[in-house]
Chain A
Amino acid sequence: MKINQTINKSPQFRVLSEDQIEQIYFSALEVMERTGGVVYHEGALELFKNSDALVEGNRVRIPITMVEEALKSYPRKITLKGRNGKRSLFLEKDMVSFGTGSDLPFTLDMNTGERRNTTYKDVSDASKLVDALSNFDFHMSHGIVTDAPNPQTYDRHQFMAMLENCTKPMVVTSVDGEGLEDLWKMGCLIQGGEHEFRLNPMFVVYIEPISPLKNDSTAVEKLLFAAEKRIPAMYTPCPSSGATAPATIAGMLVQSLAETLLAIVMCHLKNPGMPLIMGGVTTLLDMRKSTYSYGAPELSLASAANTDISKWLNLIMFSTGGCTDAKILDEQAASEQMMNLFYSYLSGANLIHDVGYIDHGTTASLESLVLNQEMIGMVKQFGKGINTDDEHLALDLIEKQGPGGEYVTTDHTFKYWKEWFMPQLQDRSDYETWVKNGSKTMGQRLKERTQHLLDTYQPEPLDEKLRKELKKICEDADKRHM
């Protein structure tokens, strides 16, 4: 037995030094006092007016003391419990989870290979897959229900599609404050009440400010409702470096942190101690094509750096991975998704979302979800690091087998090869076997696997009485908005 040993149980990864993180944070504080932000919500402006902040019209400038005071009041841990009754999503420093993104208007149809509008059925199918795939820890809608009775109430129906087919914790989106209230009521019904929901929240609500530094009335309405009810929320920008944020990664991170800090102060004024999450999609505008890139290496770099900042601030991080600019599932989709999965995982981000996004975050793809299941598995295998205990160091075995020996038939190999990653979609057969099995590409295997899951997987059904009660909330909302 050796003493005083430090072992890396997993790889250690960091983009920024502590000094660099501090410099970004101090710059964000400078923005808070010097530039501030705009808020288009009377109630929020009222909160700021009654504080030490300076309010001029919609412009709010916030003294550093307020920011640092507010920062102290946020929880370092949030635990979510899905409708399956399992407290399964532990959001705390360096605990990583993967999930889908939300609200994609288009879907790449599996059968036709064509892009079309996303429907209720597509969201149901995506939800079913997320429930079935072990490497997905939380669920966002993936697509947006475009065939709902009313665009003002689509969010309730979307949530229903998710709930009926997926039992895992969720990140939800809502149309407005009223929509969020309905979703929250549905969540409370499932968890058994308001207090139960607070102890065992089943979802985080996704809300975003508009870069640069703008908070519209709907976003603030939702955020303040979440603060009031202590619903876990993320208020995370999607800055587009070069368009809605500076054309440098450092500048983009300063601005997006300032956007977060403003929300942190606002929620603190409303109701201290709400579970608020930072992060977002930090990437660039491709200047030649005027597209927002989900596959750029800078997305990986900026997200990993942002995660370093979140850990330093003791805030929970919502990051991005498993997404691509490719229009279909091809070599580009696979390599970009793998790359951003790799870095978001290594960085230790808590919620890695947008897994499965294709086409710059405008198109959903069921097969893409199944593809990412495999890639997340590979990345996690890398994350296991190297076990260096005596049994794994295997010096006795090495001596026993000796120079020129073999290891295939040893008990040691039989025992430990099971620690390796077992691919489900990657082909490792020899050439002849591969030809004999039809010379299939990964795309073909992926399609078969996806179809098989859709045909055979049955998610645990919702209790019928509960389902009716949930449905009633949706119908009441439809009636109100007739």
Chain B
Amino acid sequence: MSVRTNYTVYESPRLQILSEDQKEKILNGMMRTLQYTGAHVHHEKARELFKKAGCKVDGVTVYFPPEVILKALSTVPPVTEVFPWDGNKEKKVVVEKNRSYFGPGPTPPNFIDTDTMERRKYLRKDANIVARVCDALPNIGFVQSLGSISDVTNDLADVYEFADMVRNTTTPIMSWSFTREGCRDIHRIAIAMAGGEEEFRQRPNYIFYGEPISPLVSDFHAIDKCMYCAENRIPQVYSPCAIGGGTVPATHAGQLVVALSESMVGVIAAQLINPGTCVIIGGVQSILDMRYSIYSYGAPELSLLSSALTEVVQYCGLPMYSQSGCTDTKKMDMQSALEASLSINAAMMSGANFVHDNGYTESGLTGDVFQTVMDDELISMARVIERSFDVNKETLSVDVIDSVGPGGHYLYEDHTMKWFRTYWMPTLMDRNSYEGWVEEGRKTMKDRIIEKTRDLIDNYEGPRGKVPAQADKEIERILQEAEKRAKESESK
């Protein structure tokens, strides 16, 4: 039997937006910007840290020479693992090049009420819903809340959110906080879930999300939280929401340079404090719609910018925080679907590590878990392209083509029985005949999405019952202490 040699396969399709030369240009643009334009760092200790490392500091402006940037890039880890608190290997997150996870996003003020379908303020009960629904969705690999809780003590929305969510999903959470104090509370909760500090260090169970401000500003809290995460070796995101034509240049290349530069400030700080700690960069990249002054979450430029930035970030050896599944629409319709479809497929092909904002509507101002459920289906479709198909003797099917013969039929072949199962099966896409569709009540996809989501909300319990009693008690204690602290600072 002859054997094939010198054989290369594409395990998945190849999408490349930028050439090597273009990536280098943008990387060098970042080097030049950080060296000559510098960045504002509103944190004295951070500036001291940078100065000690060899940066020039002038007031709040820090100028980073290339050797400082290169040194930081030399200690970023090639791979980091994040572990679900129940030890479920299926849900483990491996942060490494071209391995992608999709999830919702943090902090919109509004939420689509899952009973009334009306837009209103985000409530504490919504965090529970989002956590459980995401826990059940097979294509959601990390969880964010899709809102900012409005009905708890003002400064504790971040802590309550994490405390509630972590007990309702084992899928790793990406948390956020207002300040270092919230950051610490969240971390204590995570340690309680991990079963101790040493256990957490061995097996971190969440990722922290923080953002600098475009252009080129690290405000006190952003860099302060970044430093806290680095000290405690918490995997973290440090990425801006860059607004093309607003806070960064209107040209994509310029936008990428600025976005990369401001993230790099966090990378450098984290690597100086704790070399080898995981920092994920990237962020929301889109444009300002000049007619309405709206930061567009549905523009095709969002997909193009994010895919290109993913390539540059990978070129730097860093993991990428990208976005998809989001829309400018106010109420789920075709616009939500087509905008999500484009951004999800683009993000999938780019190979970004964490693709967030699946479930963002109204240009990032309203969280909608129905959108997340739709996105889950679109992500699984995009995975079909990512996985591609096998080309080998059996799949090439020359034997079965011959045995069926011209004019024949494949339905009853063993080969068919074996292989048709590998095809993707929809859960929300309708493949009925017209008559079958009429018979089943002429449902739109939106009708099916609402049914599926409400079924999950009503019937899917999630891991709440599996939370160790000890951890549960500890979390309640942390919340009480936080309340006490909030009261004290209020009375001051």
Footprint of B on A, CB under 8 Å?
2, 4-8, 11-20, 23-24, 27, 30-31, 34-38, 59, 106, 115, 210, 212-214, 241-251, 254-255, 258, 284-291, 293, 295-298, 300-302, 304-305, 325-339, 342-343, 346, 359-360, 362-363, 371, 374-375, 378-379, 381-382, 384-389, 391-395, 397-399, 401-408, 412-413, 415-417, 419-421, 423, 425-431, 433-435, 439, 441-443, 446
Is B21 an interface position by the 8 A CB rule?
Answer: yes
Indicate if the CB atoms of B253 and A387 lie closer than 8 Å. yes
How far, in angstroms, from A378 to B410 measured CA to CA in the complex?
39
Indicate if the CB atoms of A442 and B329 lie closer than 8 Å. yes
Known: A5-B21, A301-B384. A330 touches B445 (CB 8 A): yes
Indicate if the CB atoms of B437 and A384 lie closer than 8 Å. no
Shortest CB distance B248–A (Å)? 6
Q: Point out the residue from B250, B328, B429 that lies within 8 Å of A426, measured CB to CB.
A: B328
Indicate if the CB atoms of B431 and A288 lie closer than 8 Å. yes
Known: A248-B395, A332-B429, A393-B254. A399 touches B37 (CB 8 A): yes
How far, in angstroms, from A148 to B12 measured CA to CA in the complex?
48
Chain B residues closer than 8 Å to A288, beta-carbon distance: 425, 431
Shortest CB distance B65–A (Å)? 16
How far, in angstroms, from A255 to B291 measured CA to CA in the complex?
52
Chain A residues closer than 8 Å to B402, beta-carbon distance: 31, 34-35
Indicate if the CB atoms of A242 and B378 lie closer than 8 Å. no
Indicate if the CB atoms of B423 and A247 lie closer than 8 Å. yes
Top 8 A-B residue pairs of the complex, sorted by shortest distance between their CB atoms? A251-B397, A394-B254, A403-B216, A246-B397, A213-B406, A331-B337, A297-B384, A334-B334
Known: A13-B14, A246-B416, A402-B37. A331 touches B19 (CB 8 A): no
9 A-B residue pairings within 8 Å (CB atoms): A16-B10, A212-B407, A247-B413, A251-B397, A301-B389, A336-B429, A374-B338, A404-B213, A439-B330
How far, in angstroms, from A19 to B428 measured CA to CA in the complex?
36
Chain A residues closer than 8 Å to B442, beta-carbon distance: 327-328
Indicate if the CB atoms of B429 and A325 lie closer than 8 Å. yes
How far, in angstroms, from A408 to B294 measured CA to CA in the complex?
12
Shortest CB distance B346–A (Å)? 6
Is B396 an interface position by the 8 A CB rule?
Answer: yes
Indicate if the CB atoms of B430 and A332 lie closer than 8 Å. yes
How far, in angstroms, from A17 to B12 measured CA to CA in the complex?
10
Known: A254-B396, A387-B253, A393-B253. A401 touches B8 (CB 8 A): no
Shortest CB distance A383–B (Å)? 9
The number of residue pairs between A and B whose CB atoms lie closer than 8 Å in the complex comes to: 433
Indicate if the CB atoms of B429 and A384 lie closer than 8 Å. no
Chain A residues closer than 8 Å to B395, beta-carbon distance: 246, 248-251
How far, in angstroms, from A415 to B420 measured CA to CA in the complex?
53
Chain A residues closer than 8 Å to B437, beta-carbon distance: 327
How far, in angstroms, from A301 to B423 measured CA to CA in the complex?
12
Is B303 an interface position by the 8 A CB rule?
Answer: yes
Q: Point out the residue from B217, B299, B331, B420 that lies within 8 Å of A439, measured CB to CB.
A: B331
Indicate if the CB atoms of A291 and B391 lie closer than 8 Å. no
How far, in angstroms, from A285 to B419 measured CA to CA in the complex?
12
Chain A residues closer than 8 Å to B411, beta-carbon distance: 242-243
Q: Point out the residue from B20, B330, B391, B423 that lies within 8 Å of A20, measured CB to CB.
A: B391
Q: Point out the residue from B36, B308, B332, B410 that lies within 8 Å of A399, measured CB to CB.
A: B36
How far, in angstroms, from A213 to B345 measured CA to CA in the complex?
34
Shortest CB distance B328–A (Å)? 5
For B61, give the chain A residue with the smallest CB separation: A403
For A405, give the chain B residue with the smallest CB separation: B215
Q: Point out the residue from A258, A405, A421, A429 that lies within 8 Å of B292, measured CB to CB.
A: A429
Is B150 an interface position by the 8 A CB rule?
Answer: no
How far, in angstroms, from A389 to B4 measured CA to CA in the complex?
44
How far, in angstroms, from A465 to B247 measured CA to CA in the complex?
61
How far, in angstroms, from A249 to B389 measured CA to CA in the complex?
7
Indicate if the CB atoms of B346 and A30 lie closer than 8 Å. no
Is B471 an interface position by the 8 A CB rule?
Answer: no
Is B339 an interface position by the 8 A CB rule?
Answer: yes
Is B149 an interface position by the 8 A CB rule?
Answer: no
Chain A residues closer than 8 Å to B345, beta-carbon distance: 338-339, 342-343
Chain A residues closer than 8 Å to B98, beta-carbon distance: none
Chain B residues closer than 8 Å to A398, beta-carbon distance: 33, 37, 215, 249, 254, 257-258
For A34, give the chain B residue with the smallest CB separation: B402
Indicate if the CB atoms of B25 and A388 lie closer than 8 Å. yes
Indicate if the CB atoms of A394 and B251 lie closer than 8 Å. yes
Chain A residues closer than 8 Å to B13, beta-carbon distance: 13-15, 304
Chain B residues closer than 8 Å to A7, beta-carbon distance: 19, 21-22
Chain A residues closer than 8 Å to B290, beta-carbon distance: 417
Known: A254-B401, A301-B384, A325-B431. A338 touches B342 (CB 8 A): yes
Known: A212-B401, A247-B415. A334 touches B17 (CB 8 A): no
Number of interface residues of B (CB under 8 A): 134
Chain B residues closer than 8 Å to A408, beta-carbon distance: 245-246, 288
Indicate if the CB atoms of B40 and A404 lie closer than 8 Å. yes
Indicate if the CB atoms of A289 and B431 lie closer than 8 Å. yes
How far, in angstroms, from A388 to B308 measured CA to CA in the complex?
11
Indicate if the CB atoms of B410 and A242 lie closer than 8 Å. yes
Chain A residues closer than 8 Å to B116, beta-carbon distance: none
Q: Point out the residue from A13, A305, A333, A335 that lies within 8 Å of B389, measured CB to CB.
A: A305
Indicate if the CB atoms of A331 and B396 lie closer than 8 Å. no
11 additional A-B pairs beyond A11-B16, A23-B396, A248-B419, beta carbons within 8 Å, are A35-B405, A241-B423, A246-B397, A250-B390, A333-B337, A338-B338, A379-B342, A403-B215, A416-B249, A417-B245, A429-B294
Chain B residues closer than 8 Å to A302, beta-carbon distance: 389
Interface membership of chain B positions 385-426, coded 1 if the CB is closer than 8 angstroms to chain A and 0 otherwise:
100111110111110111011111111010110111011110
Indicate if the CB atoms of B294 and A430 lie closer than 8 Å. yes
Shortest CB distance B241–A (Å)? 14
Indicate if the CB atoms of B401 and A342 lie closer than 8 Å. no
Shortest CB distance A134–B (Å)? 16
Is B436 an interface position by the 8 A CB rule?
Answer: yes
Known: A31-B398, A250-B396, A363-B434. A297 touches B303 (CB 8 A): no
For B334, give the chain A residue with the smallest CB separation: A334
For B363, give the chain A residue with the smallest CB separation: A428
Indicate if the CB atoms of A386 and B18 lie closer than 8 Å. yes
Is B468 an interface position by the 8 A CB rule?
Answer: no
Known: A13-B15, A14-B10, A247-B423. A331 touches B449 (CB 8 A): yes
Indicate if the CB atoms of A386 and B256 lie closer than 8 Å. yes
How far, in angstroms, from A363 to B437 measured CA to CA in the complex?
14
Chain B residues closer than 8 Å to A388, beta-carbon distance: 18, 22, 25-26, 253
Known: A251-B397, A332-B430. A244 touches B410 (CB 8 A): yes
How far, in angstroms, from A305 to B384 measured CA to CA in the complex?
13
Interface membership of chain B positions 307-340, coded 1 if the CB is closer than 8 angstroms to chain A and 0 otherwise:
1100000000000000000001111111111111
Indicate if the CB atoms of A6 and B19 lie closer than 8 Å. yes
Chain A residues closer than 8 Å to B449, beta-carbon distance: 331
Known: A210-B407, A245-B410. A254 touches B398 (CB 8 A): yes
Is B489 an interface position by the 8 A CB rule?
Answer: no
How far, in angstroms, from A378 to B6 measured CA to CA in the complex?
40
Indicate if the CB atoms of B374 and A247 lie closer than 8 Å. no
Is B267 an interface position by the 8 A CB rule?
Answer: no
Chain B residues closer than 8 Å to A298, beta-carbon distance: 384, 423-424
Shortest CB distance A1–B (Å)? 13
Chain A residues closer than 8 Å to B61, beta-carbon distance: 403
Shortest CB distance B209–A (Å)? 22
Chain B residues closer than 8 Å to A115, beta-carbon distance: 434
Is B39 an interface position by the 8 A CB rule?
Answer: yes
Interface membership of chain B positions 68-98, coded 1 if the CB is closer than 8 angstroms to chain A and 0 otherwise:
0000000000000000000000000000000
For B308, give the chain A residue with the smallest CB separation: A386
For A262, give the chain B residue with the smallest CB separation: B406
